[in-house]
Amino acid sequence: MLWWLAAAFVLVHIFIYCLGVRFDDQLLYKGWQHLDVELLRHNLLESLFYLHSQPPLFNLFLGIVLKLFYPHPALVFQASYLICGLIIYLSLFWVQVRLGVGKWLAFSLSTLFILSPSSITYGYHLYYTFPVAAILMASALLLHEFVVKQKSWQALCLFSLLFLLSGIRALFHLVYFVTIAATLIVLLRPIRRKIVLAAVLPFVLILSLYCMNLMVFGDFSTSSWLGMNVLNVVTTNVSMEDRRLMVADGKLSELALIERFLPLAEYPSRYQDVKRYRDIPALTVATKSTGAPNYNHLAYLTLSEQYLEDFLQLLKERPLAYLKGVQQACLIYLVPNVMFVPFNEDRDKTAFLESFYDTYFYGKFDRLSAILAGLWPFSLIPGYPLHLFLFIGLPLLLVHGLVLSLRNRGHSIRLDRDRRIVVLYMCLSIIYVAVVGNMLELGENSRFRFTTDPFYVVLLGLFIQFSVKGRLLRFLHRLRSSSASHFERAKQ
């Protein structure tokens, strides 16, 4: 089967190349989350130490590649992302097989995933979303290996992957690491000592990132953008006029009237005055060498803190506006990932593929969606139409996965303990990303979902294998038995 997988992976990327899709590294120069290229090349360690806007590991990866392969790093970046794609593909296939999905079904679903427009989009842009998806998918495979063989080095590798997640993506908070570790300790009590010992070093490394930011910036986190991210969830549903009145009454700051993530010159001058770390370019240069804004400027730390204060005040004054924003975030979470704006420029090259997946896999039926949108009691956001199979199917797959992971007796569909632990891990990860992402951000929610989309594919494989195929086989067996009994009675 390995040869089939290798051949399919190569053919898929030949097909993508024939479509005209090429790896795009432009986000290296203009990406909000990336440090200035010149700092990555010439002042890497100091800049990473003073990186408050993002966890440091993805920028560390960028800096190492730039140092070793400049001025032609694009091929190395592309090769790295191809490796990530292969990790997703192989891990997705083998996790399904190990959980009981038939090989040909697992092969089909895995291939359809890497051929999907969303996989092409994130796999061909220099952004951390694709590597995070690869690490998360590999962690599920490694978790099954650990619960079956129970080797200490496997547990250490598993928690090291969770450390990488936290060091690349702020969404995977220290809470996520602790929750997964605690769950494994509870479920695998006989080997809890191995789990604790394996988790200690990665936990200390994650904690050190938080403590470093606390020591340098007074912020116990790996990203200082919480305020700028979360404010949009509520202000989307509070009119500008209402906000002006609240600013006039002294309830909100003037920042509540100013868009987030603007160049520093767009903000009041009192926020631009930096009195600390004047000799640190990563914190004091407002514009990168490429001309893009430097969102790691120290001023954005103060701006984000004020945005967070404004959010808390709006949450107190207009709680329903926040709940409406969360509901809108959940709806965006359930649309295709390629609708994320920064990647729209290449969608014309895969337009027919997107149309095919929209219709047959995501359920975008314009007329029916329009009817349902008119009946839907909550607010929809323009530009994000309903995709019925995602809207209905993803929650159902999650529920089905939770049922499989928690049921061990009294039903014809059962998984052994090892498999149930892996399914539970995937479901908890999906729930965590969905809940935290949709509570703290409005706009990029479908991009957040992509990191757990391979888990949804595994759950789809389990659903088809055990619920659809299993029930069909049992029905055919009963039909055959009934026919045989009827034939015997006829003979008598």
Domain containing residue 206: 2-25+73-237+318-479
Q: Identify whether 255 is part of a domain.
A: no
Phi, psi of 349 (to 5 degrees): -75, -25
Mean pLDDT over the full length of the chain: 89
Question: Residue 150 burial (CB < 10 Å; 0-12/13-18/19+)?
Answer: middle
pLDDT of 114 > 70? The answer is yes
Q: DSSP readout, 3-69? A: HHHHHHHHHHHHHHHHTT---B-THHHH-TTSPPHHHHHHSHHHHHHT--SS-SHHHHHHHHHHHHH
Q: Tokens for 371?
A: 């009817």
pLDDT for residue 169:
95
* pLDDT tens figures, 324-344: 999 999 989 998 887 665 666
Residue that wins the pLDDT comparison between 467 and 248: 248
Q: Identify whether 189 is part of a domain.
A: yes
pLDDT for residue 470:
57
Encode burial over 113-145: b for 16+ CB neighbours within 10 A, e otherwise: bbbbbbbbbbbbbbbbbbbbbbbbbbbbbbbbb
Q: Identify whether 45 is part of a domain.
A: no
Q: Identify whether 300 is part of a domain.
A: no
Contacts of 115 (CB under 8 A, 6+ apart): 12, 15, 353
Helix (H, G, I), strand (E, B) or coil at 417: helix
As a three-state string, the secondary structure of 159-217 is: HHHHHHHHHHCCCCCHHHHHHHHHHHHHHCHHHHHHHHHHHHHHHHHHHHHHHHHHHHH
CA distance 208 to 166: 12
Average pLDDT over residues 380-392: 75
Q: Identify whether 201 is part of a domain.
A: yes
Dihedral angle computed from the Cα positions of residues 6, 420, 469 and 118, in that order, rounded to the nearest 10 degrees: -50
Q: Identify whether 182 is part of a domain.
A: yes
pLDDT for residue 410:
45
DSSP state of 489: H
Q: Identify whether 301 is part of a domain.
A: no
Contact 140, 418 (CB under 8 A): no
| Number of folded domains that form the chain | 1
Q: Identify whether 291 is part of a domain.
A: no
